[in-house]
Each structure stands twice: as structure tokens, then as C-alpha cells.
Amino acid sequence: MKKSGAEIFVESLKQEGVDVLFGIPGGVVLKLFDVLHQQKDVEVILTRHEQGAAHMAEGYAKATGRAGVCLVTSGPGMTNIVTGLADAYMDSVPMVAFTGQVSTSLIGNDAFQEADNVGISRPCTKHNVLVKDVNDLARTIKEAFYIANTGRPGPVLVDIPKDITTDKAEFKYPDKVSLRGYNPTYEGNKYQIKQAAEEIMKAKKPVIYVGGGALFSDAADEILEMAELTQIPVTMTLMGLGSFPGTHPLSMGMLGMHGSYWSNMAMHHADLLIAVGARFDDRVTGKLADFSPVARVVHIDIDPTSIKKNVHAHIPIVGDVRTVLKQLNIILRSLDGNVNERKQQLKPWHNQIEEWKKAHPFKYQQDDKAIKPQYVIEKLFEMTHNEGIVATDVGQHQMWAAQYFKGKKPRTFITSGGLGTMGFGFPAALGAQRAYPDELVMCITSEGSFQMNLQELATAVIYKLPVKIVMLNNGHHGMVRQWQDLFYEGRYASSVLGKIPDFLKLGEAYGIPGWRAEKPADVESVIREGLKYKGPAIMDFQIYPFENCYPMIPAGGAQHEMVLEDPPDLKTKGGGSKKMEADDEGVLPA
């Protein structure tokens, strides 16, 4: 029996094991939503904005490792997910986005809500395709999921014209995919892996540098084994957090622009870098000319275009991170079976890193007056016993979360890295919560980021997604204000947000309870009440508005050229030249 394109679409999703999609209907995709409405295997979560749908699909994918799915209509429906596509593309997130398109006979005629979905999305997708024949639909969907999930993961867009959803064809879902121009390499070169093992065993100042590719490869166990076998300290990018336990003695935490002093110094002085699923982006390297000047580089990545793109690799290994590390660990075990001997060999290096750590730890001063944001994160970490999933928005709060919330499991720290998308955190948290309904999921955000997708509070309530919103509310675009303090003489040009809205009243409008902390003594009780509540909840922390995030590698600076605290002129003024009390409306004087 022939099936309509809409029926083929739904059956194909079932074949791929899709259990949920996020989206909003519109005229050209009504047939798809109608067929979805008549079945129970694939849940449809109706979001309040298409960008929210895209970020929920991302959060689902980052939490599970499986492709997230969203479905939106043509025209503005599609253009509203472009930010989500670009975010997923930068962070290598497996996602399949289905977009509606006007009927094939109308394409190119400037029909109502027509947009060139393929052309618009080409720069920010791993692959995209316009379905022109219903007979190609099932194969196209199979290929979309295959491309999204394999090799270096990424978003794939499938554009479906209205008439394709109603046309009929025989349904046969392909068993496998064979694409002549797409054949990712999974097995690393054995000779290069052996070379890497030999370099590791003779290095005196080695560092394992882990990126997000390790998480999507499920390589956490292999990284832990390599680190403990060789006693090499491990540092992670923002996207790599969770790939190695943050509380492990060999963990140096995050490196880069707002990474730990000791990890950046270790990278600068290392004689060997083992880069695992990382791409040497500018937030990690700082000034490229001065990056790790004496280190030899082993670079393991499934994407050959990422190797040698920014930093020369002396030993490039193209392959799946987990597969390559399994091979590497076998060789390392054969070369060195004595961990204690290796500890002694690297003791001077470990001692040096410990000295850097003691000299410049993460620090802040908490008094009994203003709440410091770091204190909130530390208390949250302590009171959740390092359990649950944390999603963040983008800004100072994101960096403080990365510094002070030492996750111990993979896929439990979800954030926007490459694109730095404000508004990502809350919908991504909802996607993660849908993937793991029984897990504690927290969104660490700020009043600036949260307002970019706050409409998804309705989604949280309707679908009973009990995400805990931890808001570090400083009345500013905090990271922008920090740069204005440091580089623009404290002129807060368009960075002051004030005290609008009242987030507890906003939550009340959606049926979500909230608690507010205005002084340090309130922090623990607010966290306790928020975590105890069974549904979504808002915790509004009125933090000190002029706290700056350190360490910081300024633009154009090298790894070892970190700013560690406010410069003297800021300290004497209590901050920038505009640091003064806001009036009752939350507006600073001119």
C-alpha cells in the first residue's frame, strides 16, 4: 500500500528510533503534524518559538549523544532556527531539522512564506537537501540521520515542499547508507599511533588537552585510562567539560580565555600536547604566534580539516577519538606497566603545576553584604552533591559555572561554545530534561540571556519539565560591562539592563514559583527551596553587579599573559568610572 509523504516521514522517524521532536506547525507542514497527532511513538513538544525548538533539539542531542530533531514551517519558521543550526554546526551537535517549503510548482515565484531554505542554511549545516520527489523522501531521511550522527557530527536540514507531504509512494526504508563522497575514517594510522605512544613515554611536561569531540565519541573511559596509565594532567575546553572528572587529581579544569591559571601555564610550558577531539580555537590558543612554543603536538580528530588548521600537528591522527585511544592505550600498556615509576618521572612537572595552582587559584571575596556569583555556584555544586545536568547560557555566569561546577560525568555540562548563543541555556535544559525526565536539570543563566527565550517557560509548564532556573541577576550584560570596565574607561554603552522584569512575578504568570536571594545569608535557603520543588522553579540571585570574571586572557594576549584581578584603577574606584548605585528603576546615572 502506498503512503503519503507525511506518513513516510513519520514512519522514517520511527525507524530511526526518534521518540520526540520539537517544533511549531504552519501551513505547509500541517499534513506532517496531522499524521504525528494520530500516533503515539513520536512525541511532539510544541515550543513557543522556533529558536527554542532548535535549542531543545541541541540540548537533547548533547545530553544523549543521539540526533535531536526539530520540525518547523517555511519562511520565518525556518529563518528562526538559523541560530540553532549555526550553534549546532559550530559545536558539532548531531541534529536533523525538517523545514516546510512551498509546493514545488511555486518555488522561485516569491510565494507566501517562501524562503531559500537550502541557500540560507548552506553555511551553517553539515548537509542540506530539498526533497523534490516523494519517492526520495525515505532515503533522504535515512541519509540525513546518518550524516548527522557519523564522522564529525553536525546539523542536517531536510526541506520538504507542501505537495511532497501529500503525494504518495511505496514506503521502503533503506537498511544502510552508501555515499560515494562521504566516508569518515574511524581507524587511526597504526604507525602514527605508535609514534604518539613513544612521544608520550619520553615527554617530561606533557598535557592531555580534550575538546568536545571526545564527548560525542563517548571516549571518557579511554581518556581516564590514558591519564591514569601515564599520569599526564588533563585540561578541557569549555565544550570538553565532563569528558574527564573535574575532581580527579589529574584534572586541571578548563583552559583558555577564562580557564584556570595553572592549565594555561601548563599548556604554555608543555613539551608535548595530546589534543583529543579539539580544534585549537582562538579562545584556547590566545595569540597563535606564542601558543605552546616548545611543545610537540599529537592531534587526534575524526575531521581531517580540523588538523593543522590553526596549529601545526607533528603527529596528526585522523580517526574516531575513542577508537584511536583504545589502540593507543594498548600500546602504552605494553610500553609502561609501572604507574608509580611514571609518577616519579613526572613528579617535577606535577609539582610545578601544583605551585601554579597554589599561587593563583580561582578566588573571590564573599562578605555579608553583596552576593558574589561564585559563591552561588559553589553552594549549588555543594548542595547538589555534584549530581544532575547543568545547562548554561552565555556570559560571565557561563564562565563561573565552568570554573566552579566540577562535573564528574560526560554530557552533564551543556553549553554553547563556538557561537556563544545567548538564549541557548533554558531551551537546551528543557531538551535535556525531556531526554532524562528523572534527572535533576539546572539552567545557570542571567537576566540578559534568559530574556532571549523566556517564552519557553510555557513549554516547561505544559510538558511538566521541572528545570531549575538559577539566575545570576546583575542588571547588566555582564561580560560586555566587564570589557567596558577594562578597555572602555567604564562607559557602559548599552549594557545596563536594570531591574526589569521582576522574574518572580513573571514566573507567577506562568504558574512557576520562585525565590529571591538579596543577601548572602539567603543563598542556601533559596537553593534548598528551589531544588525541593517538584516542578520548574526560579531562583533569582541578586548578585554584586560589578564582579568581574578572572583569569582572563585579553584579546591579542598569549596563554601565559593572563589578567588575574581588577587593575588598580578599578580597585580604587570600586570598579569602573560608572560604578555607582542604580536608582529604584535599576538605571545608572548618565
Catalytic residues: 50, 112-113, 162, 479
Q: How far apart are CA 590 and CA 578, in angstroms?
A: 8
The number of residues making up the chain comes to: 590
DSSP per position, 329-341 = HHHHHHH---HHH
CA-CA-CA-CA torsion for 443, 447, 450, 453, nearest 10 degrees? 170
Burial of 489 (0-12, 13-18, 19+ CB in 10 A): exposed
Cell of 125: 549545516
Cell of 480: 560586555
What's the sign of the alpha-carbon dihedral 384, 389, 395, 401? positive
Q: How many CA atoms lie within 13 A of 560 on its CB side?
A: 12
Helix/strand/coil percent split, the chain, to 5:
40, 15, 40
Q: How far apart are CA 525 and CA 503, in angstroms?
A: 18
CA-CA-CA-CA torsion for 514, 515, 517, 518, nearest 10 degrees? 80
In this structure, are residues 86 and 41 in contact, taking their beta carbons and an 8 Å threshold? Answer: no
Q: How far apart are CA 313 and CA 310, in angstroms?
A: 9
DSSP assigned state of 385: T
In this structure, are residues 69 and 18 in contact, taking their beta carbons and an 8 Å threshold? Answer: yes
In this structure, are residues 577 and 403 in contact, taking their beta carbons and an 8 Å threshold? Answer: no
Q: How many Cβ atoms sit within 10 Å of the Cβ of residue 493? A: 9
Residue 301 DSSP SS3: strand
